[in-house]
Amino acid sequence: MSNFTLASARDALKAKKISSKELTTAYIKAVEAARPLNAYITETPDKALEMAAASDARLAKGEGGALEGLPLAIKDLFCTKGVRTTAGSKILGNFIPPYESTVTANLWKAGAVMLGKTNLDEFAMGSSNETSASGPVFNPWRDGTKKLVPGGSSGGSASAVAGDLCLAATGTDTGGSIRQPAAITGIVGLKPTYGRCSRWGIVAFASSLDQAGPMTKTVRDAAILLGSMASIDPKDSTSTDLPVPDYEKALEGGIKGLRVGIPREYRMDGAPPEIAALWDKGAEWLKAQGAEIVEVSLPHTKYALPTYYIVAPAEASSNLARYDGVRFGHRAKDVKGITDLYEKSRAEGFGLEVQRRILIGTYVLSSGYYDAYYARAQKLRTLIARDFTEAYTQCDVLLTPATPGPAFGLGENSDDPVAMYLNDVFTVTVNLAGLPGLSVPAGLTAGGLPLGLQLIGKAFDEGTLLRAGLALETAANFTHKPANWWSAS
Amino acid sequence: MNAPGAKILKGETGDWEIVIGMEVHAQVLSKSKLFSGASTQFGAEPNAQVSFVDAGMPGMLPVINAKCVEQAVRTGLGLKAKINLRSLFDRKNYFYPDLPQGYQISQFKDPIVGEGEVVIDLPSGESRVVGIERLHLEQDAGKSIHDQHPDHSYVDLNRSGIALMEIVTKPHMRSSEEAAAFLRKLRAIVRYLGTCDGNMDEGSMRADVNVSVCRVGGYDKFRADGSFKHLGTRCEIKNVNSMRFIAMAVEYEARRQVEILEGGGTISQETRLFDARLNETRSMRSKEEAHDYRYFPDPDLLPLELDAAWVAEIEKSLPELPDEKKARLIQAGLSAYDASVLVAEKESADYYEAMVKAGAEPKSAANWLSNEYFGRLNKAGLTLADGPVTAAANAAIVMMVGEGVISGKIAKDVLDLVWAEGGDPRALVEARGLRQVTDTGAIDAAIEAVIAANPDKVEEVKAKPKLAAWFVGQVMKQTGGKANPAAVNAALKTRLNLPDEG
């Protein structure tokens, strides 16, 4: 089972070497056995078997979509009709959406099977999955016997893919929430161009940055999954009206002549030498396959993190205003009047990191501070995006580290939000510029923990990005697997 | 155009002028809401017209309703305003139970419509040009209901998300009458345009009125250099929902401010509420208590970009508006007064135009409506829409008078008959034998009968020609009022040998 990728399982199903029911049953068992990882918030085995049976019926008739019968895990930020959706927060209570997000609806239409909803940082705010109201997720990789975080916010999805608790998973990425956990759990994570996947039905964190994407075992799987997640959606005004290309086909052709940019500002003082070494190695791998390596400059990089931590909380403070205890979710008891209801419900329902970001966001939008913070951040955002536009006159993709380091221990960054925010240093620029970014597992640290490299593409050029990713993956030949320490048996 | 002077408020210490600006919320006429597909029909069961977007459910996204944008552009064009081809939607953040998203989507910095103007006609015959500052689109909130349960409040979200146009004027109105006249004119314009039904009872049009007072001359200085320092501190009076209340609220508020200023006090900028029952305004919240709405561009929506050609198409399709219609009616021979009365309401203008189209002579039709039909409607407490007589029927009556088929007196009877019984006036005149008698034979016979019965009067009339009127009355009586009075006069003169100037 653990040897299957999305692509190979698809082919096995088509060739009737295995049924969706068998595949799904095996994953349901793996999910149950892996509860110590806390990767799933909600398991939906009955629904999964029902969907698998329907898929088998279609496959038997020679029908079926691109993901027919393939068991997936869904980040618990996607609203799923009839299935509790928590966003990793207490404030949503037992919220059961009466609607299905566009991305998941696309997946079910393509025949995919839902195994359950994966854990995440509360409202996707975090880089370690420690802010979840459902408790932390553990990385299948350990440092000796020390337990590590899987990164965040899509930590549950990352652990589920890395621990073979699904064939692939969905994630969302606002500042690195797909790529950072993918990198430190040894899997592939793709944040598509802003607007490529519909945001409709995904619990919003920061609307101008949020983007759904695939978390998979291979680059090919990412291409396959993105092909079904992406769509033109009239229900999301910020989604693109460009047709969805055949991403799997775009993998073909190699990278001869591809110009790969190395942004000099990404060489950070005090970064572990392993990261820089891996980065250099990545450039060599691509060069060896015919790519041309060019040094480029993204001069406003150093402003990206502060810009991000103004823009994202500002939008979040407004997006999360609807969780007020009035219509759905958690409502405080014994309140005196409406203000008390708001204050108590929100104080009880939101965790501390979410409260911190709501406060930051409220502050930067306040009259008297707006120009100093929010307005300036917007200007910087424009400059950061322009850096990329200019860099892309000299190259086709950019190669950077994915994270400043490997997975870390629980609680190691929790009391220092700035240290935690630094995890996003290589990834937030991509969200601010609305570009696609791909994290590919590229090697292990001396301590045996996975590290990833990030490729950044031009807007809506996921095809080239994936093709470069495939070249990197082929050269890196990352076949390491974490030892299974979590199964009860 | 003659603009009236300032209306002076006499104070103990000297004269004061009133300065008024207005913010009008006009509900866009559209089938569905500004950012969702839910219905906008008035009067549905509570919460029957609420989509997931309107209820602020997690992950729901707004999508702009093109019809609402078109209506805003149409209104802007009707206000002779600049249409901004690029505008932005912003979030106005505040907590309230009837605001499910925790923010209202509005337009703050870059509205869809810029500066324009509205001309108001005053009873004195003078006109005032009121500058429009801007028009922007925004969502309405829901409704909190506090009187249905002792411990709980209820929320009805049917209104939540309905499109409103907020129309902001410059401080160009100078009296309570002008304020009321402005709102009446604005209401007429949007109703002509079909962009708002103007129904103030249902809350489709609501006005906030900004009132300040200044010493005589301050306003002219403001108009000269644009500096607000020449004007007094303004107070905003919220939700004044009828023309009459606007006039009352302005009068009260201006007096209140003058009294404070003359007592040596200062006006603090604040929001006040008009209480129609007590005829007074009361403080709602001061400037210090005002919300910090933390406006910022809504990241769920792209900038609204309009195609100039599309705007031009809308401009071409604009109907004739009150000012143009009035000018045309005056051209057609109506008095300025009659033209004003007719164009003030879209219904009356349409009704009048239908009569003219049916063949009625313009001036007669206008006179007939103002002298006869509108009076009857008023007396019966009916609106034109509810009135029992069609424009075609009224036109037929007016035309029959013009053709000499019936007299003006009979015409009133015919109107009463059609009012009470309905039916085609021409058929009615025939069936009831109300046709005016112009047949000289019949008139002569009636004259002979009157002479035969009153030989003494014949002698008298010869001495006193003025008595001829008595004969005319008798002949009219004899013919049941159907005789053509002019024909009777002529025949009598001949028969009785009366002088021409009798």
Write the pLDDT tens digit of every residue in B347-398.
999 999 999 999 999 999 999 999 999 999 999 999 999 999 999 999 999 9
- In the predicted model, is pLDDT for residue B123 greater than 90? no
* Chain B residues 46-65 with a CB less than 8 Å from chain A: 52, 55-64
Q: Which among B290, B310, B339 is the end of a domain?
A: B290
Please, what sign has the CA dihedral across residues B259, B265, B267, B273?
A: negative
**Record: contact B57-A97, CB cut-off 8 A:** yes
**B102 → closest Cβ in A315, A318, A374:** A318
Whether A75 is catalytic: yes
Considering the domain boundaries, does residue B178 fall inside one?
yes
**Are residues B103 and B249 located together in one domain of the fold?**
yes
Q: Which among B236, B268, B290 is the end of a domain?
A: B290
Domain membership of residue B103 as a residue range: 17-290
Residue A443 and residue A384 in contact, taking contact as beta carbons nearer than 8 Å:
no
Band (A1; pLDDT cuts 50, 70, 90):
low
Question: Who has greater pLDDT, B452 or B294?
Answer: B294
Count CB-CB contacts under 10 A for residue A122.
Answer: 30
- In the predicted model, is pLDDT for residue B499 greater than 80? no
Instruction: Give the separation between CA A304 and CA B282, rounded to whole angstroms.
Output: 50
- β-pairing verdict for A450-456 and B8-10: unpaired
The per-residue pLDDT for B364 is 94
Angle at B328 between CA B325 and CA B329, to 5 degrees: 85
Domain count, chain B: 3
**Are residues B116 and B171 located together in one domain of the fold?**
yes
Residue A400 and residue A454 in contact, taking contact as beta carbons nearer than 8 Å:
yes
List pLDDT tens digits, range B176-230. Answer: 999 999 999 999 999 999 999 999 988 999 999 999 999 999 999 999 999 999 9
Considering the domain boundaries, does residue B297 fall inside one?
no
Band (A488; pLDDT cuts 50, 70, 90):
low
**Are residues B333 and B285 located together in one domain of the fold?**
no
Please, what sign has the CA dihedral across residues B282, B288, B289, B295?
A: positive
Considering the domain boundaries, does residue B165 fall inside one?
yes
Domains assigned to chain A? 6-259 (3.90.1300.10)
List pLDDT tens digits, range B431-447. Answer: 887 887 767 778 888 88
Interface membership of B101 toward A (CB under 8 Å):
yes
- Nearest alpha carbon to residue A192 among A421, A441, A456, A381: A456
Strand partners, A452: A441
The per-residue pLDDT for B502 is 41
Under DSSP, is residue A188 helix (H, G, I), strand (E, B) or coil?
strand
The per-residue pLDDT for B501 is 53
**Are residues B476 and B382 located together in one domain of the fold?**
no
Alpha carbon B275 to chain centroid, angstroms? 24
List pLDDT tens digits, range B415-430. Answer: 999 999 998 999 988 8
**Are residues B353 and B449 located together in one domain of the fold?**
no
Instruction: Give the separation between CA A172 and CA A120, rounded to whole angstroms.
Output: 10
Catalytic residue (one of A20, A55, A75, A317):
A75
Render A428-481 in DSSP notation, one character per residue: HHHHHHT--EEEEEEEE-TTS-EEEEEEE--TT-HHHHHHHHHHHHHHH-----
Instruction: Give the separation between CA A128 and CA A408, rounded to whole angstroms.
Output: 8
Distances (CA, A) of A298 to A261, A262, A386: 10, 10, 9
Whether A153 is catalytic: yes
Across the range A209-228, mean pLDDT stands at 98
Whether A177 is catalytic: yes
Q: Which of A75, A100, A102, A322 to mutate to test the interface with B (most CBs of B within 10 A)?
A: A322
Contacts of A202 in chain B (CB under 8 A): 59
Considering the domain boundaries, does residue B4 fall inside one?
no
Q: Which of B157, B296, B298 to mutate to test the interface with A (most CBs of A within 10 A)?
A: B296
Render A200-215 in DSSP notation, one character per residue: TTBPPS-TTT-EEEEE
SS (H, E, C) A89-129: CCCCCCCCCCCCCHHHHHHHHCCCEEEEEECCCHHHCCCCC
Contacts of A200 in chain B (CB under 8 A): 59-61
Count CB-CB contacts under 10 A for residue B45.
Answer: 8
Count CB-CB contacts under 10 A for residue B277.
Answer: 6
| E runs forming strands in B422-502 | none
Instruction: Give the separation between CA A439 and CA A178, rounded to whole angstroms.
Output: 8
* Structure tokens given for B397: 């009556």
Pick the residue from chain A with its C-alpha nearest to B104.
Answer: A318
Distances (CA, A) of A449 to A183, A265, A406, A473: 10, 25, 6, 17
**Are residues B177 and B67 located together in one domain of the fold?**
yes
**Are residues B191 and B282 located together in one domain of the fold?**
yes
DSSP A168: E
- β-pairing verdict for B154-156 and B143-145: antiparallel
Contacts of A85 in chain B (CB under 8 A): 58
Catalytic residue (one of A153, A239, A317, A439):
A153
**Are residues B59 and B149 located together in one domain of the fold?**
yes
**Are residues B160 and B123 located together in one domain of the fold?**
yes
- Compute chain B's Rg from CA coordinates: 30
**Are residues B488 and B387 located together in one domain of the fold?**
no
- β-pairing verdict for A71-75 and A168-173: parallel
- Nearest alpha carbon to residue A243 among A462, A6, A432: A462
* Structure tokens given for A95: 């919220």
Instruction: Give the separation between CA B371 and CA A206, rounded to whole angstroms.
Output: 65
Considering the domain boundaries, does residue B7 fall inside one?
no
Considering the domain boundaries, does residue B220 fall inside one?
yes
* Structure tokens given for A140: 């299948």
Q: Which of A389-393, B24-28, B283-287 has the lowest mean pLDDT?
A: B283-287
List pLDDT tens digits, range A96-121. Answer: 999 999 999 999 999 999 999 999 99
Residue A396 CB-density burial (10 A; 0-12 exposed, 13-18 middle, 19+ buried): buried
Across the range A258-275, mean pLDDT stands at 91
- β-pairing verdict for B270-275 and B235-240: parallel
Considering the domain boundaries, does residue B309 fall inside one?
no
Q: Which among B397, B431, B465 is the end of a domain?
A: B431
Under DSSP, is residue B25 helix (H, G, I), strand (E, B) or coil?
strand
Q: How many CB pairs under 8 A join A and B?
A: 95
- In the predicted model, is pLDDT for residue A87 greater than 90? yes
Please, what sign has the CA dihedral across residues A114, A118, A122, A125?
A: negative
Contacts of B101 in chain A (CB under 8 A): 321-322
Instruction: Give the separation between CA A410 and CA A448, rounded to whole angstroms.
Output: 18
* Structure tokens given for B283: 């403080």
- β-pairing verdict for A437-444 and A188-191: antiparallel
DSSP A143: B
**What pTM was estimated for this model as a whole?**
0.91
Instruction: Give the separation between CA B207 and CA B249, rounded to whole angstroms.
Output: 11
**Are residues B227 and B152 located together in one domain of the fold?**
yes
Please, what sign has the CA dihedral across residues B241, B108, A241, A252?
A: negative
The per-residue pLDDT for B484 is 78
**Are residues B349 and B266 located together in one domain of the fold?**
no
Q: What percent of chain A has pLDDT over 90?
A: 94
* Structure tokens given for B432: 């009831």
Band (B471; pLDDT cuts 50, 70, 90):
confident
Count CB-CB contacts under 10 A for residue B41.
Answer: 11
Question: Who has greater pLDDT, B463 or A276?
Answer: A276
The per-residue pLDDT for A489 is 54
- In the predicted model, is pLDDT for residue A268 greater than 50? yes
Instruction: Give the separation between CA A441 and CA A140, rounded to whole angstroms.
Output: 15
Under DSSP, is residue B271 helix (H, G, I), strand (E, B) or coil?
strand
List pLDDT tens digits, range B291-304. Answer: 899 999 999 999 99
* Structure tokens given for B375: 């009076």
The per-residue pLDDT for A309 is 95
DSSP A328: S
Contacts of B146 in chain A (CB under 8 A): none
Q: Which of B61, B64, B106, B145 to mutate to test the interface with A (most CBs of A within 10 A)?
A: B61
- β-pairing verdict for B116-121 and B127-139: antiparallel
Across the range A394-403, mean pLDDT stands at 98
Considering the domain boundaries, does residue B406 fall inside one?
yes
Q: What percent of chain B has pLDDT over 90?
A: 69
- What ipTM goes with this model? 0.96
SS (H, E, C) B297-346: ECCCCCCEECCHHHHHHHHHCCCCCHHHHHHHHHHCCCCHHHHHHHHHCH
Render B159-219 in DSSP notation, one character per residue: STT-EEEEEEE-S-B-SHHHHHHHHHHHHHHHHHHTS----TTTTSEEEEEEEEEEETTHH
